[in-house]
Amino acid sequence: MNDSITRTLAVAFTICLVCSLVVSYTAVGLRDLQNENKLNDERKKILQSANMYDSGSSIASQFEKLEMRYVDFSSGKIIDSYKDFNIETYNQIATTRNPLLSSKVPTSEDIAIIKNRENVGKFYIARNENGELDKIILPIRGYGLWGTLFGYISIENDFNTVAGLEFYSHKETPGLGAEVDNPKWKSLWPGKKIYKENEVKLTVMKGQVPSDAADINYKVDGLSGATLTSRGVSNMITYWFGDSGYSKLLSELNYES
Ligand SMILES: Cc1cc2nc3c(=O)[nH]c(=O)nc-3n(C[C@H](O)[C@H](O)[C@H](O)COP(=O)(O)O)c2cc1C
C-alpha cells in the first residue's frame, strides 16, 4: 500500500507545498532586509563619493550628517516643499515614469540617454565643523553599453572641482565597463575640473591622457577595452552639468556663498 500512486503523489505534493511555503516565507521575510541593505549600499556610495565614509562607524549615523536638499531643475532653485508629492519619501528615479512629475528629454539633447528627467532632484550638502558648505553630492545617471549606470559625483565648494565619483548600480561587464568601480580609475577623478568658460569641458578620453596634454585637468583616462562605457560616463557628465542638469543650481549656490 505504501507504494500506491496516490500515496506517492500525496508525498510529492506535500513536499512541494512545504518547500514552496518555506521559499515564499523566506523571500517575504528577507525583503525588508534586502531593501535595507540596498539603501545602505547606496548611502555608502554617497559618502564614499565625498571621501567621507568611515568603515569604523555606522553608515546611518554618518549619513545623518549630510543635508538632504531638493532642486527644481527648471529654475535651479533649492526647494523645501513641493505641491505634488511628499518630499520626504520622494523617489526621483521612480518619478521619471510619471509624466506629471518629469519632463521628456528631447532626443537631440539626450546624450546620456535618460529619456525622462525628473522635475525635482534630490542632492546632498556636506558641511565642515564651522557649518560652511564643504562639498555637494549630486546623483547622476546615463547609459553605458548594457544599461544605465547610476551614481553620485561630489564637487568641492568652488562648484567646479570634482571631489569623487561612485556608481551604485550598473550592468557593465566585469573586467571591462565594470572597471568604473576600480579604485585606481576612480582615483583619477578628484581634482578634475568640470567647467571652462561656462562650458562643460570634463571628458573621459579614449585611452590614456598624455602627461603633456593640453587641459589635462579636464581629462580622465578611458577604461581600456570599454570605450562605450567610458563614452557613457563622459556623456552623463556633459548632460548633468549642462543646462537641464545642475548648472543653474551650481550657479545659485556659487552666488549664495
Ligand atoms: C562580451 C563582451 C562584453 C563587453 N562589455 C563591454 C563593456 O562593458 N563596456 C564597453 O565599453 N565595451 C564592452 N565590450 C566591448 C565593446 O563591444 C567594444 O568593442 C568596445 O567598447 C570597444 O572599445 P575599445 O575601443 O576600447 O576596444 C564588450 C565586448 C564583449 C564581446
pLDDT of residue 196: 96
pLDDT of residue 1: 57
Q: What is the mean pLDDT of residues 145-172?
A: 97
Ligand 1 center from residue 57 Cα (angstroms): 38
What is the distance between the alpha carbons of residues 58 and 109, in angstroms, rounded to a whole number? Answer: 40
Ligand 1 center from residue 228 Cα (angstroms): 7
Q: 228 CB under 6 A from ligand 1?
A: yes
Q: What is the mean pLDDT of residues 68-73?
A: 94
Ligand 1 center from residue 229 Cα (angstroms): 8
pLDDT tens by residue, 136-145: 999 999 999 9
pLDDT of residue 78: 93
What is the distance between the alpha carbons of residues 208 and 219, in angstroms, rounded to a whole number? Answer: 9
pLDDT of residue 241: 98
- The pairing of strands 77-79 and 67-72 is antiparallel
- Ligand 1 atom at minimal distance to the Cα of residue 229: 11
Ligand 1, atom 25: nearest CA belongs to which residue?
A: 227
Does the pTM exceed 0.85? Answer: yes
Q: What is the mean pLDDT of residues 148-165?
A: 97
Q: 234 CB under 6 A from ligand 1?
A: no
Q: What is the mean pLDDT of residues 194-220?
A: 95
Is the confidence at residue 236, as pLDDT, over 90? yes
Ligand 1 center from residue 150 Cα (angstroms): 19
Q: 179 CB under 6 A from ligand 1?
A: no
What is the distance between the alpha carbons of residues 47 and 141, in angstroms, rounded to a whole number? Answer: 17
pLDDT of residue 77: 94
Q: Which residue has the higher pLDDT, 256 or 240?
A: 240
pLDDT of residue 254: 82
Q: Which of 146, 167, 172, 173 to mutate to test the pocket of ligand 1 (most atoms within 8 A of CB)?
A: 173
What is the distance between the alpha carbons of residues 230 and 17, in angstroms, rounded to a whole number? Answer: 49
Ligand 1, atom 1: nearest CA belongs to which residue?
A: 173
Q: How far is CA 69 from CA 10, 13, 152, 154, in A?
A: 59, 54, 14, 14
- Ligand 1 atom at minimal distance to the Cα of residue 226: 11
Q: Which residue has the higher pLDDT, 250 or 5?
A: 250
In the predicted model, what is the mean pLDDT of the chain?
93
| Percentage of the chain modeled with pLDDT above 90 | 84
Q: Which of 204, 208, 228, 234 to mutate to test the pocket of ligand 1 (most atoms within 8 A of CB)?
A: 228
pLDDT tens by residue, 94-117: 999 999 999 999 999 999 999 999
Q: What is the mean pLDDT of residues 218-238?
A: 97
pLDDT band at residue 2 using 50, 70 and 90 as cut-offs: low
Q: 176 CB under 6 A from ligand 1?
A: yes
CA angle in degrees (0–180, nearest 5) for 172-37-239? 40
pLDDT band at residue 35 using 50, 70 and 90 as cut-offs: confident
Amino acid at 138: L
